[in-house]
Amino acid sequence: IFTDGDLRRLITNGLFDIEESLAKFVNRNIRTIKECIKLTEAQLIFRTPTLVSVLPVVADAENGAHELVGLLCLADTLKALE
């Protein structure tokens, strides 16, 4: 995953080169949640260990891998828990 936050940090630190392949910058160590998780649990995952604003939602695929089924936004979660 490569986010707008990743891009901002690279530009701010002078590390982004428009001629480089995006593969060089993609974050492969991402936080995900399973589709069966409760919103109260997701809220904790958004904040631990560092704050993220979007979490990929995954389901177990038949081949044992994880399949992306959606994205959960922190702002939507906070609204739902009000």
What's the pLDDT tens digit per position in 38-55?
A: 998 998 999 888 888 899
Is the pLDDT reported for residue 29 higher than 90? no
What percent of the chain stands above pLDDT 70?
100
Distances (CA, A) of 60 to 4, 21, 57: 27, 30, 10
pLDDT score of 19: 93
Q: What is the edge-to-edge ordering of all strands in the sheet holding 66-73?
A: 33-34, 54-60, 66-73
Q: Which of the four pLDDT bands, split at 50, 70 and 90, describes residue 4?
A: confident
